[in-house]
A and B are shown apart, each in its own frame.
Chain A
């Protein structure tokens, strides 16, 4: 079956530009997570949705980061006024439930120049 998909796979942005990253979770998965992975580091939690409800956004690094999942399926992570320190791989994961195994997408590699 289809896994988690993310688009675009690569994104180059000029500093100050807004970007939107998309995640298509596995069909039927209630929980959706966003992680940020900097070079040489492990993934770091950004935010969590249960269906359309954003239950935890404690990992978002600043108010320039915004995530939504309006219909409880596809999710979008938006970064406004990108900065160089936002350069990272953004990973999306979904699971059947909050404590179930998380399945990751391939990630979006964002480079801010």
Chain B
């Protein structure tokens, strides 16, 4: 049973518009959430993270929102650029069960930003 779910396998957005990628989780013990970006034939690259004590974290064009009551987080990219086209993975970690750094990933959402 998947603990981290990304229900949209793909998303297409026009350049300059906002991209919103969504992620849901089931384990209420998760206390840290991350977004990774992956280009073909490369490993995932860390993008942005958020602790469960916050509800928003912003870094340039990227903002992550966390709604703990809904067990939902989202990544906003504004404005979207063609270079943002990649697969985005949501990941979560918990201080309980296994190593604290053990990340649990969703299946990813492929973002295409069209010029």
Contact = CB atoms under 8 A, between A and B. Distances in A.
B40 to A, nearest CB: 11
Contacts of B46: 101-103
Contact of A43 (B42, B45, B105): B105
B53 to A, nearest CB: 14
**Contact count band on B:** 20 to 34
B107 A45 contact: no
Contact of A33 (B4, B32, B101): B101
B60 interface: no
Interface in A47-91: 48, 55-56, 58-59, 91
Nearest to A31: B101
Contacts of B41: 106
A45 B43 contact: no
B103 interface: yes
Interface in B1-60: 4, 32, 34, 36, 41-46, 49
A104 B98 contact: no
A31 B91 CA distance: 18
Contact of A48 (B42, B89, B102, B107): B102
Given A103-B46, A107-B43, A98 B101 contact: yes
A57 B59 CA distance: 34
Given A106-B41, A107-B43, A99 B102 contact: no
Interface in A23-61: 31, 33, 35, 40-45, 48, 55-56, 58-59
22 contacts: A4-B43, A33-B101, A42-B107, A42-B108, A43-B44, A43-B89, A44-B105, A45-B102, A48-B98, A48-B99, A58-B98, A91-B44, A95-B101, A101-B34, A102-B46, A102-B101, A102-B103, A103-B46, A105-B43, A106-B43, A107-B42, A107-B43
What are the 8 closest A-B residue pairs judged by CB atoms, nearest first? A42-B105, A104-B43, A56-B99, A48-B99, A98-B101, A104-B44, A45-B102, A106-B43
Interface of B: 4, 32, 34, 36, 41-46, 49, 89, 91, 93, 98-108
